[in-house]
Structure 1
Amino acid sequence: MPILRPAADATPADWLLDAARAGDGPTVLRYGPPGFDTYLRLPIDPVGPIGLGPAANVNAMATALHVLTGHTNTPDNAYVAMWEGYNLGPEPDAPRVPLPNALMFLYAGPVSAMRYAAQTIWADAIGKPDTSHDVEPDLVWPADHAWCLACEVDEEIEFSIGCSNTAAEALEAALPDLVRRVAYGEDAPWERNRR
Protein backbone atom coordinates (compact mmCIF):
# COMPACT_ATOMS: atom_id res chain seq x y z
CA MET A 1 0.00 0.00 0.00
CA PRO A 2 1.54 3.36 -1.00
CA ILE A 3 2.46 5.60 1.91
CA LEU A 4 0.81 8.89 2.77
CA ARG A 5 2.64 11.56 4.74
CA PRO A 6 1.40 14.66 6.53
CA ALA A 7 1.40 17.61 4.15
CA ALA A 8 4.15 20.18 4.76
CA ASP A 9 1.47 22.76 5.61
CA ALA A 10 -2.19 23.46 4.91
CA THR A 11 -1.69 25.77 1.90
CA PRO A 12 -2.53 23.07 -0.72
CA ALA A 13 -6.11 23.23 0.62
CA ASP A 14 -6.39 27.03 0.21
CA TRP A 15 -8.39 26.65 -3.02
CA LEU A 16 -11.03 24.66 -1.10
CA LEU A 17 -11.06 27.12 1.80
CA ASP A 18 -11.38 30.04 -0.62
CA ALA A 19 -14.34 28.32 -2.37
CA ALA A 20 -16.00 27.56 0.97
CA ARG A 21 -15.56 31.13 2.21
CA ALA A 22 -16.78 32.66 -1.08
CA GLY A 23 -19.86 30.48 -1.42
CA ASP A 24 -21.67 27.66 0.28
CA GLY A 25 -19.29 25.78 2.59
CA PRO A 26 -21.48 22.65 2.94
CA THR A 27 -21.75 22.39 -0.86
CA VAL A 28 -17.96 22.50 -1.16
CA LEU A 29 -17.73 19.62 1.32
CA ARG A 30 -20.23 17.62 -0.72
CA TYR A 31 -19.22 18.54 -4.30
CA GLY A 32 -15.76 20.06 -4.08
CA PRO A 33 -15.16 23.57 -5.43
CA PRO A 34 -17.25 25.08 -8.24
CA GLY A 35 -15.85 25.60 -11.73
CA PHE A 36 -15.27 22.12 -13.18
CA ASP A 37 -16.71 21.21 -16.60
CA THR A 38 -18.70 18.33 -15.17
CA TYR A 39 -19.91 17.03 -11.81
CA LEU A 40 -20.67 13.37 -11.25
CA ARG A 41 -22.29 11.37 -8.47
CA LEU A 42 -21.32 7.75 -7.80
CA PRO A 43 -22.50 5.29 -5.14
CA ILE A 44 -20.54 4.95 -1.93
CA ASP A 45 -19.57 1.35 -1.54
CA PRO A 46 -20.87 -0.50 1.48
CA VAL A 47 -18.39 -2.60 3.47
CA GLY A 48 -17.97 -4.91 0.48
CA PRO A 49 -18.22 -4.33 -3.27
CA ILE A 50 -21.43 -2.82 -4.54
CA GLY A 51 -23.92 -5.21 -6.04
CA LEU A 52 -25.53 -3.27 -8.85
CA GLY A 53 -26.09 -4.61 -12.35
CA PRO A 54 -23.20 -5.36 -14.69
CA ALA A 55 -20.64 -3.71 -12.38
CA ALA A 56 -21.57 -5.92 -9.39
CA ASN A 57 -18.01 -6.60 -8.21
CA VAL A 58 -16.64 -3.11 -8.78
CA ASN A 59 -15.50 -0.86 -5.96
CA ALA A 60 -16.70 2.49 -7.32
CA MET A 61 -14.37 4.75 -5.35
CA ALA A 62 -11.26 2.64 -5.98
CA THR A 63 -12.12 2.43 -9.69
CA ALA A 64 -12.83 6.16 -9.90
CA LEU A 65 -9.49 7.05 -8.32
CA HIS A 66 -7.71 4.63 -10.63
CA VAL A 67 -9.33 6.27 -13.68
CA LEU A 68 -8.66 9.78 -12.35
CA THR A 69 -4.95 8.95 -12.01
CA GLY A 70 -4.80 9.17 -15.80
CA HIS A 71 -6.47 12.58 -15.81
CA THR A 72 -3.92 14.65 -13.94
CA ASN A 73 -0.37 15.75 -14.66
CA THR A 74 0.50 15.17 -10.98
CA PRO A 75 -0.64 11.61 -10.10
CA ASP A 76 2.21 11.22 -7.61
CA ASN A 77 1.53 14.59 -5.98
CA ALA A 78 -1.98 14.66 -4.54
CA TYR A 79 -3.75 15.50 -1.30
CA VAL A 80 -6.39 13.98 0.93
CA ALA A 81 -8.29 15.78 3.67
CA MET A 82 -9.79 13.58 6.38
CA TRP A 83 -12.27 14.74 9.01
CA GLU A 84 -10.72 14.94 12.48
CA GLY A 85 -13.94 13.72 14.12
CA TYR A 86 -13.61 10.08 13.08
CA ASN A 87 -11.64 9.36 16.30
CA LEU A 88 -10.15 6.19 14.83
CA GLY A 89 -7.03 6.32 16.96
CA PRO A 90 -4.43 8.74 18.28
CA GLU A 91 -4.73 12.23 16.81
CA PRO A 92 -2.51 12.52 13.73
CA ASP A 93 0.30 15.06 13.67
CA ALA A 94 -0.71 16.73 10.42
CA PRO A 95 -1.73 20.22 9.28
CA ARG A 96 -5.37 21.08 9.89
CA VAL A 97 -7.70 22.58 7.31
CA PRO A 98 -10.54 24.57 8.97
CA LEU A 99 -13.35 23.91 6.49
CA PRO A 100 -16.79 25.05 7.74
CA ASN A 101 -18.09 22.61 10.36
CA ALA A 102 -15.41 20.07 9.36
CA LEU A 103 -11.85 20.41 10.61
CA MET A 104 -9.69 18.19 8.40
CA PHE A 105 -6.23 16.63 8.63
CA LEU A 106 -4.23 17.12 5.41
CA TYR A 107 -2.02 14.39 3.94
CA ALA A 108 -0.01 14.15 0.74
CA GLY A 109 0.96 11.25 -1.49
CA PRO A 110 0.11 9.58 -4.80
CA VAL A 111 -3.49 9.29 -5.97
CA SER A 112 -3.06 5.51 -5.69
CA ALA A 113 -2.81 5.85 -1.88
CA MET A 114 -5.97 7.87 -1.36
CA ARG A 115 -8.80 5.29 -1.28
CA TYR A 116 -7.61 3.80 2.01
CA ALA A 117 -6.24 6.98 3.55
CA ALA A 118 -8.00 6.40 6.88
CA GLN A 119 -6.32 3.00 7.25
CA THR A 120 -2.91 4.62 6.76
CA ILE A 121 -3.49 7.79 8.77
CA TRP A 122 -4.76 5.86 11.76
CA ALA A 123 -2.26 3.00 11.46
CA ASP A 124 -1.22 1.07 14.54
CA ALA A 125 1.82 1.99 16.62
CA ILE A 126 4.25 0.13 14.34
CA GLY A 127 2.78 1.68 11.19
CA LYS A 128 0.73 -1.31 10.02
CA PRO A 129 -2.44 -0.03 8.30
CA ASP A 130 -5.55 -0.61 10.38
CA THR A 131 -7.79 -2.58 8.04
CA SER A 132 -10.75 -2.37 10.44
CA HIS A 133 -11.37 1.19 9.19
CA ASP A 134 -13.37 1.39 5.99
CA VAL A 135 -13.88 5.14 6.00
CA GLU A 136 -13.94 6.89 2.63
CA PRO A 137 -11.58 9.81 2.02
CA ASP A 138 -13.46 13.09 2.46
CA LEU A 139 -11.68 15.24 -0.15
CA VAL A 140 -9.04 14.13 -2.67
CA TRP A 141 -7.37 16.26 -5.36
CA PRO A 142 -4.15 16.27 -7.36
CA ALA A 143 -1.72 19.18 -7.03
CA ASP A 144 -2.69 20.47 -10.50
CA HIS A 145 -6.39 20.73 -9.46
CA ALA A 146 -7.45 18.70 -12.51
CA TRP A 147 -10.32 17.20 -10.50
CA CYS A 148 -11.69 16.89 -6.96
CA LEU A 149 -13.39 13.93 -5.32
CA ALA A 150 -15.68 14.84 -2.41
CA CYS A 151 -17.33 12.45 0.02
CA GLU A 152 -19.11 14.51 2.66
CA VAL A 153 -18.67 13.19 6.20
CA ASP A 154 -22.38 12.55 6.76
CA GLU A 155 -23.08 11.20 3.28
CA GLU A 156 -24.23 7.57 3.12
CA ILE A 157 -25.34 7.12 -0.47
CA GLU A 158 -23.05 8.85 -2.96
CA PHE A 159 -19.83 10.77 -3.45
CA SER A 160 -19.06 13.49 -6.01
CA ILE A 161 -16.36 14.18 -8.56
CA GLY A 162 -15.76 17.51 -10.28
CA CYS A 163 -13.64 17.05 -13.41
CA SER A 164 -13.16 17.67 -17.13
CA ASN A 165 -15.55 16.26 -19.72
CA THR A 166 -12.82 13.87 -20.84
CA ALA A 167 -12.37 12.48 -17.32
CA ALA A 168 -16.15 12.21 -16.94
CA GLU A 169 -16.40 10.15 -20.14
CA ALA A 170 -13.63 7.85 -18.92
CA LEU A 171 -15.43 7.37 -15.59
CA GLU A 172 -18.71 6.63 -17.38
CA ALA A 173 -16.94 4.01 -19.51
CA ALA A 174 -15.25 2.40 -16.49
CA LEU A 175 -18.38 2.43 -14.29
CA PRO A 176 -21.35 2.00 -16.63
CA ASP A 177 -24.74 2.51 -14.99
CA LEU A 178 -23.12 3.80 -11.77
CA VAL A 179 -22.11 7.33 -12.81
CA ARG A 180 -24.65 10.11 -13.17
CA ARG A 181 -24.01 13.68 -14.24
CA VAL A 182 -25.43 16.39 -12.00
CA ALA A 183 -25.47 20.15 -11.65
CA TYR A 184 -23.09 21.58 -9.08
CA GLY A 185 -24.78 21.55 -5.67
CA GLU A 186 -27.78 19.57 -6.89
CA ASP A 187 -29.93 18.34 -4.03
CA ALA A 188 -29.75 14.58 -3.45
CA PRO A 189 -30.66 12.23 -0.58
CA TRP A 190 -28.03 11.89 2.15
CA GLU A 191 -29.09 8.68 3.85
CA ARG A 192 -30.25 5.23 2.88
CA ASN A 193 -33.91 4.38 3.47
CA ARG A 194 -34.33 2.59 6.79
CA ARG A 195 -37.06 -0.01 7.07
Structure 2
Amino acid sequence: MSVLRPAADTTPADWILDTTLAGDAPTVLRYGPPGFDAYLRLTVNGNVPTAMGPGAKAHPMEAALQVLAAHTVTPDVAYAGVWHGYGFDNSPAPSVPVVPFPNAWMYLYTGPVSTMRYAQQSVWSFPDGTPDAGIDAEPDLVWPADYAWCLACEVDEEIEFSIGCSNTAAAALEEALPGRVHRVTYGQDAPWERDRTPAPDGDSTT
Protein backbone atom coordinates (compact mmCIF):
# COMPACT_ATOMS: atom_id res chain seq x y z
CA MET A 1 0.00 0.00 0.00
CA SER A 2 1.48 3.35 -1.04
CA VAL A 3 1.40 6.11 1.53
CA LEU A 4 -0.21 9.37 0.57
CA ARG A 5 1.85 12.55 0.66
CA PRO A 6 0.82 16.11 1.50
CA ALA A 7 -0.45 18.16 -1.41
CA ALA A 8 1.80 21.03 -2.48
CA ASP A 9 -0.95 23.54 -1.63
CA THR A 10 -4.73 23.78 -1.47
CA THR A 11 -5.25 24.88 -5.08
CA PRO A 12 -6.56 21.47 -6.26
CA ALA A 13 -9.44 21.81 -3.77
CA ASP A 14 -10.50 25.28 -4.93
CA TRP A 15 -13.25 23.90 -7.18
CA ILE A 16 -14.99 22.40 -4.14
CA LEU A 17 -14.10 25.17 -1.68
CA ASP A 18 -15.44 27.89 -3.96
CA THR A 19 -18.71 25.99 -4.32
CA THR A 20 -19.11 25.60 -0.56
CA LEU A 21 -18.51 29.32 -0.03
CA ALA A 22 -20.96 30.31 -2.76
CA GLY A 23 -23.83 27.99 -1.90
CA ASP A 24 -25.07 25.26 0.42
CA ALA A 25 -21.88 24.02 2.06
CA PRO A 26 -23.43 21.04 3.92
CA THR A 27 -24.90 19.70 0.67
CA VAL A 28 -21.62 20.13 -1.20
CA LEU A 29 -19.66 18.33 1.52
CA ARG A 30 -22.19 15.50 1.49
CA TYR A 31 -22.71 15.11 -2.26
CA GLY A 32 -19.68 16.79 -3.80
CA PRO A 33 -19.99 19.73 -6.20
CA PRO A 34 -23.08 20.03 -8.42
CA GLY A 35 -22.88 19.55 -12.17
CA PHE A 36 -22.09 15.86 -12.64
CA ASP A 37 -24.26 13.77 -14.97
CA ALA A 38 -25.15 11.31 -12.22
CA TYR A 39 -25.14 11.08 -8.44
CA LEU A 40 -25.20 7.82 -6.53
CA ARG A 41 -25.32 6.66 -2.93
CA LEU A 42 -23.42 3.56 -1.85
CA THR A 43 -23.83 1.72 1.44
CA VAL A 44 -20.85 1.57 3.80
CA ASN A 45 -20.91 -0.96 6.63
CA GLY A 46 -17.52 -0.56 8.26
CA ASN A 47 -15.40 -3.67 7.76
CA VAL A 48 -18.20 -5.74 6.24
CA PRO A 49 -16.98 -6.77 2.76
CA THR A 50 -19.12 -6.67 -0.34
CA ALA A 51 -18.90 -8.75 -3.51
CA MET A 52 -17.38 -7.21 -6.61
CA GLY A 53 -17.11 -9.20 -9.80
CA PRO A 54 -16.85 -13.00 -9.89
CA GLY A 55 -16.43 -13.89 -6.23
CA ALA A 56 -14.02 -11.10 -5.29
CA LYS A 57 -14.38 -9.32 -1.99
CA ALA A 58 -13.70 -5.66 -1.26
CA HIS A 59 -14.82 -2.94 1.10
CA PRO A 60 -17.59 -0.89 -0.58
CA MET A 61 -15.46 2.24 -0.86
CA GLU A 62 -12.46 0.28 -2.14
CA ALA A 63 -14.68 -1.45 -4.69
CA ALA A 64 -16.08 1.88 -5.86
CA LEU A 65 -12.60 3.39 -6.20
CA GLN A 66 -11.45 0.40 -8.25
CA VAL A 67 -14.24 1.16 -10.70
CA LEU A 68 -13.73 4.93 -10.65
CA ALA A 69 -9.99 4.57 -11.32
CA ALA A 70 -10.93 3.40 -14.80
CA HIS A 71 -13.02 6.54 -15.37
CA THR A 72 -10.33 9.20 -15.09
CA VAL A 73 -7.32 10.00 -17.23
CA THR A 74 -5.32 10.75 -14.06
CA PRO A 75 -5.62 7.58 -11.92
CA ASP A 76 -2.11 8.15 -10.56
CA VAL A 77 -2.85 11.70 -9.39
CA ALA A 78 -5.80 12.19 -7.08
CA TYR A 79 -6.61 14.08 -3.91
CA ALA A 80 -8.11 13.23 -0.54
CA GLY A 81 -9.60 15.59 1.99
CA VAL A 82 -9.45 14.36 5.60
CA TRP A 83 -11.33 16.21 8.33
CA HIS A 84 -8.93 17.78 10.82
CA GLY A 85 -11.03 16.87 13.83
CA TYR A 86 -10.55 13.11 13.92
CA GLY A 87 -7.28 13.23 15.84
CA PHE A 88 -6.59 9.53 16.33
CA ASP A 89 -4.18 8.77 19.18
CA ASN A 90 -1.28 7.34 17.20
CA SER A 91 -0.13 10.54 15.55
CA PRO A 92 -0.14 14.29 16.21
CA ALA A 93 -1.92 16.64 13.82
CA PRO A 94 -0.09 16.50 10.49
CA SER A 95 1.68 19.51 9.03
CA VAL A 96 0.01 19.69 5.62
CA PRO A 97 -2.13 22.16 3.64
CA VAL A 98 -5.54 22.73 5.24
CA VAL A 99 -8.61 23.51 3.12
CA PRO A 100 -10.93 25.80 5.12
CA PHE A 101 -14.27 24.24 4.20
CA PRO A 102 -17.04 25.83 6.30
CA ASN A 103 -17.20 24.03 9.68
CA ALA A 104 -15.12 21.17 8.25
CA TRP A 105 -11.48 22.09 7.70
CA MET A 106 -9.66 19.27 5.93
CA TYR A 107 -6.06 18.20 5.44
CA LEU A 108 -5.26 17.80 1.75
CA TYR A 109 -3.26 14.81 0.51
CA THR A 110 -2.38 13.49 -2.92
CA GLY A 111 -1.57 10.08 -4.39
CA PRO A 112 -2.96 7.42 -6.74
CA VAL A 113 -6.67 6.63 -6.66
CA SER A 114 -5.72 3.15 -5.43
CA THR A 115 -4.42 4.59 -2.12
CA MET A 116 -7.42 6.74 -1.28
CA ARG A 117 -9.43 4.13 0.61
CA TYR A 118 -6.60 4.11 3.16
CA ALA A 119 -6.18 7.87 3.51
CA GLN A 120 -7.11 7.93 7.19
CA GLN A 121 -4.65 5.13 7.97
CA SER A 122 -1.84 7.07 6.30
CA VAL A 123 -2.70 10.46 7.78
CA TRP A 124 -2.99 9.15 11.35
CA SER A 125 -0.04 6.77 11.08
CA PHE A 126 2.24 5.55 13.85
CA PRO A 127 5.20 7.78 14.83
CA ASP A 128 7.53 5.72 12.61
CA GLY A 129 5.29 6.43 9.61
CA THR A 130 3.69 3.00 9.46
CA PRO A 131 0.01 3.33 8.43
CA ASP A 132 -2.40 2.28 11.17
CA ALA A 133 -4.37 -0.59 9.63
CA GLY A 134 -6.73 -0.57 12.62
CA ILE A 135 -8.36 2.71 11.57
CA ASP A 136 -11.44 2.15 9.41
CA ALA A 137 -12.66 5.76 9.03
CA GLU A 138 -13.28 6.84 5.46
CA PRO A 139 -11.67 9.74 3.60
CA ASP A 140 -14.15 12.61 3.51
CA LEU A 141 -13.53 13.75 -0.07
CA VAL A 142 -11.73 12.04 -2.96
CA TRP A 143 -11.34 13.26 -6.55
CA PRO A 144 -8.88 12.76 -9.43
CA ALA A 145 -6.76 15.58 -10.85
CA ASP A 146 -8.96 15.78 -13.95
CA TYR A 147 -12.09 16.29 -11.79
CA ALA A 148 -13.86 13.43 -13.61
CA TRP A 149 -15.74 12.45 -10.46
CA CYS A 150 -15.97 13.19 -6.76
CA LEU A 151 -16.58 10.83 -3.86
CA ALA A 152 -17.94 12.43 -0.68
CA CYS A 153 -18.28 10.78 2.74
CA GLU A 154 -19.48 13.55 5.05
CA VAL A 155 -18.02 13.59 8.55
CA ASP A 156 -21.27 12.55 10.25
CA GLU A 157 -22.34 9.94 7.68
CA GLU A 158 -22.78 6.42 9.02
CA ILE A 159 -24.49 4.34 6.37
CA GLU A 160 -23.87 5.75 2.89
CA PHE A 161 -21.56 7.96 0.90
CA SER A 162 -22.08 9.87 -2.35
CA ILE A 163 -20.46 9.76 -5.77
CA GLY A 164 -20.85 12.35 -8.50
CA CYS A 165 -19.68 11.13 -11.91
CA SER A 166 -20.48 10.57 -15.57
CA ASN A 167 -23.35 8.35 -16.67
CA THR A 168 -20.79 5.87 -17.99
CA ALA A 169 -19.05 5.65 -14.61
CA ALA A 170 -22.42 5.39 -12.87
CA ALA A 171 -23.42 2.46 -15.05
CA ALA A 172 -20.10 0.73 -14.31
CA LEU A 173 -20.66 1.18 -10.56
CA GLU A 174 -24.18 -0.25 -10.83
CA GLU A 175 -22.83 -3.28 -12.70
CA ALA A 176 -19.96 -3.86 -10.26
CA LEU A 177 -22.03 -3.31 -7.11
CA PRO A 178 -25.55 -4.53 -7.87
CA GLY A 179 -28.05 -3.80 -5.15
CA ARG A 180 -25.55 -1.71 -3.18
CA VAL A 181 -25.54 1.49 -5.21
CA HIS A 182 -28.54 3.58 -6.24
CA ARG A 183 -28.96 6.80 -8.15
CA VAL A 184 -30.26 9.92 -6.44
CA THR A 185 -30.96 13.53 -7.31
CA TYR A 186 -28.35 16.00 -6.16
CA GLY A 187 -28.85 16.99 -2.55
CA GLN A 188 -31.88 14.81 -1.92
CA ASP A 189 -32.70 13.98 1.67
CA ALA A 190 -31.24 10.68 2.86
CA PRO A 191 -30.72 9.07 6.28
CA TRP A 192 -27.51 9.91 8.10
CA GLU A 193 -27.39 7.33 10.86
CA ARG A 194 -28.20 3.69 11.49
CA ASP A 195 -31.57 2.99 13.11
CA ARG A 196 -30.92 2.33 16.79
CA THR A 197 -34.57 1.94 17.79
CA PRO A 198 -34.79 -0.85 20.40
CA ALA A 199 -36.26 -4.03 18.96
CA PRO A 200 -39.17 -5.76 20.78
CA ASP A 201 -36.76 -8.19 22.46
CA GLY A 202 -34.74 -5.31 23.84
CA ASP A 203 -31.96 -5.40 21.26
CA SER A 204 -31.24 -2.34 19.18
CA THR A 205 -31.34 -2.62 15.41
CA THR A 206 -28.07 -2.17 13.57
Aligned mates of 1:85, 1:56 — CA distance in 2: 34
> How many residues align structurally?
193
Aligned mates of 1:18, 1:35 — CA distance in 2: 14
After TM superposition, the score normalised by the length of structure 2 is: 0.90
Aligned mates of 2:21, 2:5 — CA distance in 1: 27
Structure 2: gaps of 5 or more residues = 197-203
Deviations 1:117-145 (A, max 9, x none): 01011111111111121110100000100
Aligned mates of 1:2, 1:68 — CA distance in 2: 18
Residue 45 of structure 1 contacts residue 61 of structure 1 at CA under 8 Å; is this kept in 2? no
Aligned-pair RMSD on alpha carbons? Answer: 1.6
Residue 3 of structure 2 contacts residue 131 of structure 2 at CA under 8 Å; is this kept in 1? no
Residue 40 of structure 1 contacts residue 182 of structure 1 at CA under 8 Å; is this kept in 2? yes
Structure 1: gaps of 5 or more residues = none
Structure 1 residue 58: Cα displacement: 4.1
Structure 1 residue 45: Cα displacement: 2.5
Aligned to 1:148: 150
Aligned pairs (5 A) from 1:128-167: 128-167=130-169
- Please identify runs of 4+ aligned residues in structure 1 that moved more than 6 A: none
After TM superposition, the score normalised by the length of structure 1 is: 0.95
Aligned to 1:179: 181
Residue 55 of structure 1 contacts residue 175 of structure 1 at CA under 8 Å; is this kept in 2? no
Aligned mates of 1:65, 1:56 — CA distance in 2: 15
**SS of the residue 2:117 aligns to:** coil
The percent of aligned pairs where both chains have the same amino acid is 65
Distance 1:183 1:55, change over 3 A: farther
The question of 1:108 aligning with 2:147 is answered no
Q: Which deviates the most, 87-96 or 35-44? A: 87-96
